[in-house]
Amino acid sequence: MTRTMERTKAIFDTIDRLETEMVEFTRGMLKVPAIAPESGGAGELDKAEWIVNKVSGWGFDRIERYDAPDDRVPSGRRPNVLLRLKGSMPELPSLWTFVHLDVVPPGDMSKWSSDPFSLRIEGEKLIARGVEDNGQDLVAALFAAKALMMNGLHPEMDVNIFLVADEEVGSEKGIVHVTREHPELFRKDDLFIVPDAGVADGSMIEVSEKSIAWLKVRTIGKEVHGSVPNKGINANLAAMRFMVAMNDELEKRYPAEDPLYDHVRSSFSPTKREANVLNINTIPGEDVSYMDSRILPCYDPDEVFEHIKKRAKDFEKEHGVTIEVSKVQFARSAPPTPADHPVVSILGSAIEEVYGVKASPMGIGGGTCAAFLRREGYPAVVWGKLEDTAHQPNEYALVQNYIGDAKVFASVFMHRAGAGRPT
C-alpha cells in the first residue's frame, strides 16, 4: 500500500469511527433554531456560538467572525464564521467550502410526526428541520477537517469552512456581506464549493443556475356582498385568470431548452396566495398572489418582467381591475463555472473515489450561495449527495450520506497540488 493510500485509509477509517459523534453533534446543533427574522426567527447567533464552542478545541488554525449588522434580531448581528486549516504551501489557491447556518421554519406542525427541532432516528434516517438543508454538509465538512487533524495531517492548500447566515431569504447578511465587505479574503483563482444541492447518487456537480424572478401580483377590484356579484369587481377571479394565463403564455413565449439543466425549460409557476376575505359570502376586492419564475440564461429576466407588466395592463382593461406587479426577489443568472475548471475535476475525483460514480457538470433552477460567488467572479460549484427533502415536513437525511460526504470533503481537502487525485 502506498503512502497516499495509507493516508486516505486512515482518514476514512477515522470518519467511520466518528459516526456516533457526528450524529450527536447534529442532534445538539439542530436543537438551536436558526430562523431568519423575515420568518419570525431571531437569526443564527445562538447556533453559531454553539458550533464554535464545540469545535474550538479541535485544532483549527483560525476561527474568526465576519458578522453583518441587523437590527431586526435581538443580538443586532448575523454571524458568519470562518474556520481555517492552514496549508503547507501558501502560494497555492485556497479552498473554500460555504455552508449555511439558517433553516426554514417547520411549517404546518400537524404534518410532522415529531418535534422538528429534536432529532429523531429511524434506521438510517435522521429526521429534523435542517438535518439535510444544510446540516448534512455543514457537519460533514467540519468532521472531515477533524479527521485530518486527528491523524496529524495537513493540507497543501489553505482549507476554509465558512458558516454563513441568511441563505434561505436572500443571503444579504451572509455570503453577500462577506464577499462585498471582505474581498481581501478571496482570490480569483481560489476554489469554491457550496454543498447545498444535489441528487441521490451524488452524480451532479452544479455549475450554473437560472435567473430567479419572484413576483408579487396585487389585484384590486371592488368588494361587495356575494349575493350581488354584478355590483362588484371580483379581484380573486381576475387574479386567478391572470396567473393561469401567465403560466401558459410565458412558457410559449420563452420556449428554449437547455439540456445542461435538470428542468430544461424556463418555468413560471403561480405559488403563494395571501388571504383575501374571511367569509365565503363576500366578493373579494383585493387579491395578492405570487409567481416563482426560473428563467434560462438565454433570456433577459428584465424583459420577462416588462412583458408581464404589459400583459397586466391588458387584463386591467378586460376585467376592470388594477394589477400591480412588483419584484420580491430578482436575480439574474450568474456566469457559469466552466465545466473544465480545476474545482470540478478535483471534486469529481473525490466523488468517484468515495461513491464510485462519475459526476457530471449540470445546471439547476434553484438558487444557492454559489450564484453570488459567481457574480463576484469566483468559480463555484455546488454538490451534495442528497435525498432532496429540504423544506418538507419530516425532513430527513441518511447517516451514510453524512459519512460519505465527509469522506468526499476530506479527499478534496487533501488534494495534492498538480496531481489528479488526493494525496
Give the three cell numbers for residue 36: 431568519
Rounded Cα distance, 332 and 374, in Å: 11
Torsion angle in degrees (nearest 10) through CA of 107, 113, 119, 124: -120
Bin 118: left if φ > 0, else alpha if -120 < ψ < 50, else beta. Answer: beta
Give the three cell numbers for residue 376: 463576484
- Distance (Å) of CA 143 to CA 16, 20, 122, 191: 11, 12, 22, 20
Rounded Cα distance, 122 and 120, in Å: 7
Pairing of strands 159-164, 95-100: parallel
How far is C-alpha 352 from the geometric centre of its chain's CA atoms?
23
Nearest alpha-carbon partner for 142 in 18, 248, 267, 3 = 18
Active-site pick, 67, 70, 102, 405? 102
Angle between helices 135-150 and 19-30 (to 10 degrees): 140
Radius of gyration for the alpha carbons in the chain, expressed in angstroms and rounded: 24
Active site residue 24: no
Give the three cell numbers for residue 321: 381591475
Residues 227 and 218 sit within 8 Å (Cβ to Cβ): no
Active-site pick, 67, 70, 158, 167? 167
Give the three cell numbers for residue 43: 437569526
Active site residue 167: yes
Which residues belong to the active site? 102, 167
